[in-house]
Chains A and B, each alone.
Chain A
Amino acid sequence: MAHTADNIYYVPHTAKWPLIGSVGLTLLLGGFAAYLNGAAVGANLMWAGLAVMVVMLFGWFGTVVGESESGTYQSWEDKSFRIGMAWFIFSEVMFFAAFFGALFYARSLSVPWLLGEGSGATTHQFLWSAYTEFWPTNGPEDWGDSDFHMGWWPLPFINTVILLTSGLTVTWAHHGIKDGKRGPFILGLFLTVALGFLFVFLQAVEYKEAYHEGLKLTSGIYGSTFFMLTGFHGLHVTLGAIMLTVMLFRAIRGHFTPERHFAFEAAAWYWHFVDVVWLGLFLFVYIL
């Protein structure tokens, strides 16, 4: 990107959506907190907050899409969006790192200590000398009364294939728009979105099976790490699929050009990010 001193960077004059977003966020989270404390009004506040957030997102992104389509942004502004999205994805990576860290810490340090290794000898001897179960474990007090754990075959493996395939279809869509072929672009996007939601559906089927077999969020450290990691991942897949759905509708409406289609690329980056996180999950949560 090259810009000269004469370029004028686009600075919008006012923004009303951020404050509305703050109100929505506060209602949503404050309502959730009140709900968790057992206040009757909590759930209502939460739904109201969610509604405000949805309106805000439509309004804010609608404004930006309108500006983009009317040619407000040049390559200079575009680069700011790219930097912003890349660093946002980095922050998401670090959010998952916290949960992966919890998984690694439990598996390689705290559970072995509970079994009497290293400095944990006395804890084992005096508190839980009968505890012998290594990974997967629901803890020395047998939380949730079930030792069931989720293998990598068949559903997680099928989901891996689905997600990897969706990574290919989104790349195909990208080549489509870059070559100016709207047909492959729209079809590729459609397939990606379909595969994404199929993944989420199969994940729900897997959860149902897990609960049926007795593996719950409350099944000790294995259940905690399993459901929190796959759950947050599933949430991110859902978000990514919604982003791509928006791109699909925009593509059908004729948005984007072979040179300028960053919104689509941002969603594609995000999609690759959830893809890579899944590979980590598949390896560390299911196989190892």
Chain B
Amino acid sequence: MNAYTGTADEHLDHDHGDHHGPAPGYLRWVTTTNHKDIGTLYLWFSLLMFFIGGAMALIIRAELFQPGLQIVDPHFFNQMTTMHALVMIFGVVMPAFVGLANWMLPMMVGAPDMALPRMNNWSFWILPFAFALMLATLFMEGGGPAAGWTLYPPLSLQGGDSLPFVIFSIHMLGASSIMGAINIIATIMNLRAPGMTYMKMPLFVWTWFITAYLLIAVMPVLAGAVTMLLTDAFFGTSFFNAAGGGDPVMFQHIFWFFGHPEVYILILPAFGLVSEIIPTFSRKPLFGYTSMVYATSSIAFLSFIVWAHHMFTVGMPLVGELFFMFTTMLIAVPTGVKVFNWVSTMWRGAMTFETPMLFALGFVVMFTIGGFSGLMLAMTPIDFQYHDTYFVVAHFHYVLVPGAVFGIIAGVYYWLPKWTGHHYNETLGKWHFWLSTVFVNLLFFPMHFVGLAGMPRRIPDYAVQFADFNAIATLGAFGFGFAQILLLVAVVQSILGGAKATGQVWDGTEITGGLEWTLSSPPPYHSFSPQPVVK
């Protein structure tokens, strides 16, 4: 796509006094300001939380293996559904994307590091503390939060000691996200290499640019919403209490004004990853680059005016139902543009199917399934039937697991040789993909059926006619969960050794270009200083 001056070796040889290596000892990870170190911290944190959140999911699925109550009590089941969501959203998908952004954005735009390196350190180091507060509630009187991750009042106000801890941990996570997003925007706006105009930026950079804007716009709204919960619970305000003139539905509006852009925060960077990976392994430049940028921007804009489709059954005026139905369906247009462009990129390409490409292809197919079920849910009268059933669970897990998570895993395999300097074990990667794909469908596809048949979500027991599909889903869950150990093995193996990777890693990157491939594998501690010139 672009031509660059400068080679990897040139950057290695220079010594500008700024080119210190990492600090010695474990303190390196605590005090680091280096984008690669911080990216690594984010990614390991995310992987750890992935296994914690996954264990919670397996507790849920174990309980649902058969009808009746056998393993956990219903209150603990509710804590698991709530915590599983909070951990997966704020502890896995978001940190993983920020980790990938930290590692790759400076290298992709030709920057020496992130624009605000000290704040970058704080963005990460808030996370473990915030999750310590949140997870500690599981051991408190009354247990963890159990009203669902959406924290709807009045139910969420009726728990035990967990409420203020959860609220403050959400405040901390919000601060971390906002600082991370500000850093990403400053890096993109200010640290691009000379000659790299906005419309020459790689798609992963573009999607993160837009995601960062969404984060800064909506994380403060979530902070405001949970602050109102806190004052309603402890200081006698009545935002969400009709007796004092407030309205519990108001919380849902404020929450989903955050919540809907949030779901695009969880998917847009994955769109960017897939838009990097498919061209490389199709050995063709991305089809429709400009339309990709505009489609992403349109999705971001629309995300602000669709929020009440999460609340069709709450009793809104008819005009509200119609408005939010039509705007929601409109999102299918730019999303369709994206899927069309990915398929067109592959059209007549010289395709090979290494692990990152497999996960990217899995993403395109299965994310689209989730998109179509979303289109079904967008229709108000139909949503009246599907609301709060397993159909909704199936829908958002299709866009989040074989969607966002597959996108992240594809990105990790794609850039792992760049990070470690070693290729991962391709056979292992392929096993990881196929096991994940088979089991993830076994896990989530039957949920469509039980949902359409009326099985409600967030209930530890169910009617016997749902037993077979639930048993299948539980088998799929355990298969998928244990298959993820292969990811850990592949990453550790690649760190310890393996076939040496060249600077360009994949032969397809010769065609698709990208500044990150002009650096050695692993890249120097400080990426580009001085900057390359993009022609």
Listed in ascending order, the chain A residues whose CB lies under 8 Å from chain B are 1, 3-9, 11-19, 21-23, 25-26, 29-30, 32-33, 36-37, 60, 76, 79-81, 83-84, 87-88, 90-92, 94-99, 101-102, 105-106, 109-111, 113-114, 118-119, 123, 127, 137-141, 143, 216-218, 220-225, 227-228
Instruction: Evaluate whether A94 and B530 lie within 8 angstroms (CB atoms) in the complex, with A8-B112, A217-B237 already known.
Output: no
Q: Inside 8 A of B224's CB, which chain A residues have their CB?
A: 95-99, 102
Q: Please, what's the 1-or-0 string for B104-140, where 1 marks a CB less than 8 Å from any CB in chain A?
A: 0000000111011111011001101110110000000
The answer for the CA separation of A84 and B190 in the assembled complex, in Å, is 11
* Residue ID in chain B nearest A14 by CB atoms: B31
The answer for the CA separation of A88 and B117 in the assembled complex, in Å, is 16
The answer for the CA separation of A98 and B360 in the assembled complex, in Å, is 37
Q: Is B468 an interface residue (CB 8 A)?
A: no
10 pairs of residues in contact across A and B, judged by CB atoms under 8 Å:
A14-B31, A16-B30, A26-B129, A80-B115, A98-B223, A99-B224, A139-B246, A140-B245, A217-B236, A228-B228
* Residue ID in chain B nearest A220 by CB atoms: B244
B178-195: which have CB < 8 Å to A? 178, 181-183, 185-186, 189-191, 193-194
Q: Is B385 an interface residue (CB 8 A)?
A: no
Question: A91–B216 contact, CB under 8 A?
Answer: yes
Q: Is B87 an interface residue (CB 8 A)?
A: no
Q: Inside 8 A of A96's CB, which chain B residues have their CB?
A: 224
Q: Is B376 an interface residue (CB 8 A)?
A: no
Listed in ascending order, the chain B residues whose CB lies under 8 Å from chain A are 16, 18, 20, 23, 30-34, 111-113, 115-119, 121-122, 125-126, 128-130, 132-133, 161, 164-165, 167-169, 171-172, 175, 178, 181-183, 185-186, 189-191, 193-194, 216-221, 223-225, 227-228, 230-231, 234-239, 241-247, 249-250, 253-254, 257, 315-317, 526, 529-533
Q: Inside 8 A of B128's CB, which chain A residues have their CB?
A: 22
Question: A83–B190 contact, CB under 8 A?
Answer: yes
Contact among B33, B167, B193 for A5, CB-based, below 8 A? B193
Question: A22–B122 contact, CB under 8 A?
Answer: yes
Q: Inside 8 A of A227's CB, which chain B residues have their CB?
A: 237
Q: Inside 8 A of A37's CB, which chain B residues have their CB?
A: 161, 164
The answer for the CA separation of A110 and B241 in the assembled complex, in Å, is 11
Contact among B193, B220, B245, B249 for A138, CB-based, below 8 A? B245
Question: B185–A87 contact, CB under 8 A?
Answer: yes
Question: B242–A36 contact, CB under 8 A?
Answer: no
Question: B165–A30 contact, CB under 8 A?
Answer: yes
Contact among B16, B31, B115, B530 for A15, CB-based, below 8 A? B31
Q: Inside 8 A of A143's CB, which chain B residues have their CB?
A: 238, 243-245
The answer for the CA separation of A17 and B393 in the assembled complex, in Å, is 42
What is the CB-to-nearest-CB distance from B338 to chain A, in angstroms, rounded to a whole number?
A: 26
Q: Inside 8 A of A17's CB, which chain B residues have their CB?
A: 118, 122
The 8 closest A-B CB pairs, nearest first, are A98-B224, A139-B245, A221-B245, A18-B122, A218-B236, A110-B247, A33-B164, A139-B244
The answer for the CA separation of A96 and B118 in the assembled complex, in Å, is 27
The answer for the CA separation of A95 and B216 in the assembled complex, in Å, is 10
Q: From DSSP, what is the main secondary structure of chain B's interface residues?
A: helix
Question: B133–A26 contact, CB under 8 A?
Answer: yes
Beyond contacts A8-B18, A18-B122, A106-B247: 13 other A-B pairs, Cβ-Cβ < 8 A, are: A4-B194, A9-B111, A9-B529, A13-B23, A15-B33, A19-B121, A37-B161, A83-B190, A88-B178, A98-B254, A99-B228, A139-B243, A217-B231
Contact among A12, A18, A102 for B254, CB-based, below 8 A? A102
Question: B16–A14 contact, CB under 8 A?
Answer: no
The answer for the CA separation of A4 and B532 in the assembled complex, in Å, is 9
Q: Inside 8 A of B193's CB, which chain A residues have their CB?
A: 5
Question: B237–A228 contact, CB under 8 A?
Answer: yes
Q: Inside 8 A of A110's CB, which chain B residues have their CB?
A: 242, 245-247, 249-250
The answer for the CA separation of A235 and B246 in the assembled complex, in Å, is 24
Q: Inside 8 A of A26's CB, which chain B residues have their CB?
A: 129-130, 132-133, 172
Question: A36–B115 contact, CB under 8 A?
Answer: no
Q: Inside 8 A of A97's CB, which chain B residues have their CB?
A: 220-221, 224
Question: B246–A6 contact, CB under 8 A?
Answer: no
Instruction: Evaluate whether A106 and B245 lie within 8 angstroms (CB atoms) in the complex, with A9-B111, A101-B257 already known.
Output: yes
The answer for the CA separation of A248 and B430 in the assembled complex, in Å, is 63
The answer for the CA separation of A103 and B106 in the assembled complex, in Å, is 42
Q: Inside 8 A of B231's CB, which chain A residues have their CB?
A: 217, 224, 228
The answer for the CA separation of A14 and B32 in the assembled complex, in Å, is 5
What is the CB-to-nearest-CB distance from B118 to chain A, in angstroms, rounded to a whole number?
A: 4
Q: Inside 8 A of B115's CB, which chain A residues have their CB?
A: 80, 83-84
Question: A137–B31 contact, CB under 8 A?
Answer: no
Q: Inside 8 A of B20's CB, which chain A residues have their CB?
A: 13
Q: Inside 8 A of A25's CB, which chain B residues have their CB?
A: 126, 129, 172, 175
Instruction: Evaluate whether A22 and B129 lie within 8 angstroms (CB atoms) in the complex, with A37-B161, A80-B115, A140-B245 already known.
Output: yes
The answer for the CA separation of A216 and B225 in the assembled complex, in Å, is 21
What is the CB-to-nearest-CB distance from B515 to chain A, in angstroms, rounded to a whole number?
A: 12
Instruction: Evaluate whether A18 and B245 lie within 8 angstroms (CB atoms) in the complex, with A94-B220, A95-B224, A102-B239 already known.
Output: no
Question: A23–B254 contact, CB under 8 A?
Answer: no
The answer for the CA separation of A222 and B532 in the assembled complex, in Å, is 58
Question: A105–B247 contact, CB under 8 A?
Answer: yes
What is the CB-to-nearest-CB distance from B250 to chain A, in angstroms, rounded to a whole number?
A: 5
What is the CB-to-nearest-CB distance from B173 to chain A, in angstroms, rounded to a whole number?
A: 11
Q: Inside 8 A of A79's CB, which chain B residues have their CB?
A: 190
Contact among A60, A87, A88, A138 for B244, CB-based, below 8 A? A138
Question: B254–A217 contact, CB under 8 A?
Answer: no
The answer for the CA separation of A137 and B246 in the assembled complex, in Å, is 10
* Residue ID in chain B nearest A80 by CB atoms: B115
Question: B217–A90 contact, CB under 8 A?
Answer: yes
- Residue of B23, B128, B217 most packed against chain A (CB within 10 A): B217
* Residue ID in chain A nearest B231 by CB atoms: A228
Q: Inside 8 A of B225's CB, which chain A residues have their CB?
A: 98
The answer for the CA separation of A94 and B227 in the assembled complex, in Å, is 14
Q: Inside 8 A of A9's CB, which chain B residues have their CB?
A: 111-113, 191, 529
Q: Inside 8 A of A123's CB, which chain B residues have their CB?
A: 242
- Residue of B20, B119, B129, B316 most packed against chain A (CB within 10 A): B129
The answer for the CA separation of A223 and B236 in the assembled complex, in Å, is 10
What is the CB-to-nearest-CB distance from A23 to chain B, in angstroms, rounded to a whole number?
A: 7
Question: A94–B218 contact, CB under 8 A?
Answer: yes
* Residue ID in chain A nearest B5 by CB atoms: A5
